[in-house]
A and B are shown apart, each in its own frame.
Chain A
Amino acid sequence: MPAIELENVTRVYQKYSARHRFQTFKSALVKGDLFRSLKADELVTAVDGISLRVEKGMTFGVVGENGSGKSTLLKLVAGIAKPSSGRLKVEGKISALIELGAGFHPEISGRENVYINGIMLGLSKKEISRKFDEIVRFAELQDFIDAPVKTYSSGMYMRLGFSVAINVNPDVLLIDEVLAVGDAAFVPKCLDRIDDFRRRKKTILFVSHDLATVEKICDKVAWMKAGRIQMLGEPKRVVDAYLQDIAAEQEADFQKQKAAVDLEQKWEEERREKRWGKREIEIGKVLLKNLRGEEKHVFTPEEGLVIEMDIAAREPIKDFVFGIGIFNSQGTSCYGTNTYLEDYEPLTIEGQGRVVCRIEKLNLINGTYYLDVAVHKRDGYPYDYHRNLYSFLVSSTLKDVGIARLPHSWTFSPAIKIEPPGR
């Protein structure tokens, strides 16, 4: 039996132009367009004909870019927004963790706010009294509960809001991105609570940008794009498809940018600042490709990275070293090497040529990277040095941290019960 059922639900927002903000009653009366000025200038479809069934006891994730309609969908289910058309049915009591502590009044104490917030969320006074201690304990605010809420830090505010909302004990819990603001100690506690809900077979609708958590806790995931459901199914599959789509979009953006930049002379000038050397040996075009030879901007670790440099030497030169360096966005050197360090012995170079550096597995963590390429003498005298002129992105589903991903594996003795990834 479905806990949440949407049938062809559309939500259209009225959008008023910026001019509307400054419109006055006086001018509307003078111009005689009082009624016209109350009409919207433009309609925006935030959710476009969505049909969806969420079974009871299911944890249902929604992912998608900003502005894809996720939050509107959640607001529709919560009843904050009404569908413009279509049918929507929700079984049982709903609690929405959308804006925590939205109803708090800064001047009055945390205690009074808990009561009012609880009532807003559909509890009776008696129920709140019963749960009051639990709410305060969970929020870790025993010492501050009688202070006015305006004296709270944003973390305390959020904790109290979460604590009230979660103690409403709903049948359907809606969560929108709220865990993003908690401190390091509170977030696991919240996740625990959510886990607890799942065990008790409550229905959860979870909207988040934290794909790792979505993958971990959801039974089913919908990917929303431009107000529609692009894909619906098993979490891993949907999240992967979503990531691929993002990567493809970034790639397209990069290509567009590159096309635009190639035309512009300005880029050349900017380049000069980040490039030095007399260019006895010159590095011409530098291309970044994957192992299959496709020119790219966003790489997965498995794709590998191939750096191709076109080289031109004006005269025969006997002393030369080719090098590369990879830096992350903080400017930390992640990896650097050159032919001299690897004991290649330069003999001679003349005319046109090409140097290819092939990295079989790009073992870097997710992020943006900058690339140095250079050709110089063994003693370091630069012929042509390109400093951070090229960039690429690494994107993978793994969430490890640090600088590099060291190849590794885990083994556990039989007494340790641990579930491998992918359940």
Chain B
Amino acid sequence: MVRLAKNLKEIYRYRVLIQNLVSRELKARYRGSVLGFLWSFFNPLLLMIIYTIVFGFILPNRSSEFGNSPWLYALFLFSGVLPWVWFSSSSIESANVLMIHGNLIKKILFPAEALPIVTVTSNLVHFSFGFPILLLFVWIFGKPFTLYMLFLPVVVLVQFIFSLGFSFLLSALTVHFRDIKDILANLLTFWFFSTPIVYPYSFVQKYKVIKTLVDLNPMTHIIEGYHSCLFYGQLIHWKKLGLTLIVSLVLFYIGYAVFDRLRDSFPEEV
């Protein structure tokens, strides 16, 4: 714990570096692409359109929650997909990040933990680029702007901690087990459908086993947090989110501990 605190302080010292690396990451991503940073909401938008067509029109989802409107369903989807993309891209990129930037770890004095942090943070910036679009949709589809939206930063914070912990764990382990990348791709598909993004949380109440599974999934409560703030316009579920925060902190601690333990092996293995 003491060591963790010391290291966190060290990371704080590197904040200018992290900040610059994040902006470099974002610049490099859009350099040379025609649409530039428009891509950051283009991807979730495309995803939303596909899901809307499939689940709104082809397999119509006549639920009272969406007032039988495929457009409201699209909004519901979008408010869940956007944060999910943040989480999943952070995880996928983290699994590679130490190898990609192996030069930095090997050749110069560089805090390795900056790399997963940069990954999660730059994806957070991405996520926030998509946010205006999301608010625009909220407005277009006539959902009211409520004061509950002010709780969004809390949800974002919980997800940030959770994502970061998971990224530490992934990045450190992938150095030693290269197949984690492939496992992760499958895991994320499974995880995506275990989270109420495509379907509303209320739908799983009927099936006990599925409900337990979905309830045990920390991402459920994070995404539900977004839904509460943006879609339902209600207060976030404090108890569930609070518990998720604790789980996130534990994951962060474990992830960081594993990362720290394996740190010495990075320069030789990446």
Question: Which residues from chain A sit less than 8 Å from chain B, CB to CB?
Answer: 13-16, 20, 23-26, 28, 37-38, 40, 78-82, 94, 96, 98-99, 102-103, 105, 107-108, 112, 115-116, 119-121, 124-125, 148
Across the interface, do B27 and A108 meet the contact criterion of CB distance under 8 Å?
A: yes
Is B177 at the interface (CB under 8 A from chain A)? yes
Is B154 at the interface (CB under 8 A from chain A)? no
**Distance in Å from the Cβ of A173 to the closest Cβ of chain B?**
14
Known: A105-B28, A112-B24. A26 touches B183 (CB 8 A): yes
Is B21 at the interface (CB under 8 A from chain A)? yes
Instruction: List B contacts of A124 (CB < 8 A).
Output: 16
Cross-chain pairs A/B with CB under 8 angstroms, 15 sampled: A16-B269, A20-B176, A24-B179, A25-B173, A38-B262, A40-B265, A80-B110, A81-B267, A99-B107, A102-B107, A103-B108, A105-B28, A116-B21, A119-B17, A124-B16
Across the interface, do A120 and B268 meet the contact criterion of CB distance under 8 Å?
A: no
Across the interface, do A120 and B108 meet the contact criterion of CB distance under 8 Å?
A: yes
**Distance in Å from the Cβ of B53 to the closest Cβ of chain A?**
35
Across the interface, do B183 and A116 meet the contact criterion of CB distance under 8 Å?
A: no
Across the interface, do B268 and A15 meet the contact criterion of CB distance under 8 Å?
A: yes
| Residue from the list A14, A98, A99, A119 in contact with B264, Cβ < 8 A | A14
| Residue from the list B103, B110, B176, B183 in contact with A38, Cβ < 8 A | B176
Across the interface, do B109 and A79 meet the contact criterion of CB distance under 8 Å?
A: yes
Across the interface, do B109 and A23 meet the contact criterion of CB distance under 8 Å?
A: no
Is B204 at the interface (CB under 8 A from chain A)? no
Across the interface, do B179 and A26 meet the contact criterion of CB distance under 8 Å?
A: yes
Tell me, in angstroms, the Cα distance from A363 to B156 when the chains sit together: 77
Known: A26-B179, A40-B265, A124-B16. A80 touches B109 (CB 8 A): yes
Instruction: List B contacts of A80 (CB < 8 A).
Output: 106-110, 267
Tell me, in angstroms, the Cα distance from A125 to B269 when the chains sit together: 32
Contact mask B256-267 → A, CB, 8 Å, 1/0? 000000101101
| Residue from the list A24, A78, A79 in contact with B177, Cβ < 8 A | A24
Tell me, in angstroms, the Cα distance from A116 to B110 when the chains sit together: 12
| Residue from the list B24, B106, B268 in contact with A14, Cβ < 8 A | B268
Is B104 at the interface (CB under 8 A from chain A)? yes
Across the interface, do A102 and B16 meet the contact criterion of CB distance under 8 Å?
A: no
Instruction: List B contacts of A120 (CB < 8 A).
Output: 17, 104, 108, 110
Residue of B nearest to A16 (CB): B269
Instruction: List A contacts of B176 (CB < 8 A).
Output: 20, 23, 37-38
Across the interface, do A102 and B103 meet the contact criterion of CB distance under 8 Å?
A: yes
| Residue from the list B106, B110, B180, B268 in contact with A13, Cβ < 8 A | B268
Across the interface, do A125 and B16 meet the contact criterion of CB distance under 8 Å?
A: yes
Instruction: List B contacts of A119 (CB < 8 A).
Output: 16-17, 20
Tell me, in angstroms, the Cα distance from A94 to B109 when the chains sit together: 10
6 nearest A-B residue pairs (beta carbon): A99-B107, A25-B177, A102-B107, A24-B179, A107-B28, A102-B103
**CB within 8 Å of A: which B154-183 residues:** 173, 176-180, 183
Instruction: List A contacts of B265 (CB < 8 A).
Output: 14, 16, 38, 40
Is B153 at the interface (CB under 8 A from chain A)? no
| Residue from the list B21, B109, B173, B183 in contact with A78, Cβ < 8 A | B109
Tell me, in angstroms, the Cα distance from A79 to B108 when the chains sit together: 9
Residue of A nearest to B177 (CB): A25
Tell me, in angstroms, the Cα distance from A47 to B104 when the chains sit together: 22
Instruction: List A contacts of B107 (CB < 8 A).
Output: 80, 98-99, 102
**Distance in Å from the Cβ of A130 to the closest Cβ of chain B?**
16
Instruction: List B contacts of A103 (CB < 8 A).
Output: 103-104, 108, 110
Across the interface, do A116 and B108 meet the contact criterion of CB distance under 8 Å?
A: no
Is B208 at the interface (CB under 8 A from chain A)? no
Is B6 at the interface (CB under 8 A from chain A)? no
Tell me, in angstroms, the Cα distance from A102 to B105 when the chains sit together: 9
Across the interface, do B31 and A108 meet the contact criterion of CB distance under 8 Å?
A: yes
Tell me, in angstroms, the Cα distance from A105 to B104 when the chains sit together: 11
Instruction: List A contacts of B180 (CB < 8 A).
Output: 25
Is B32 at the interface (CB under 8 A from chain A)? yes
| Residue from the list B31, B108, B178, B267 in contact with A102, Cβ < 8 A | B108
Instruction: List A contacts of B109 (CB < 8 A).
Output: 78-80, 94, 96
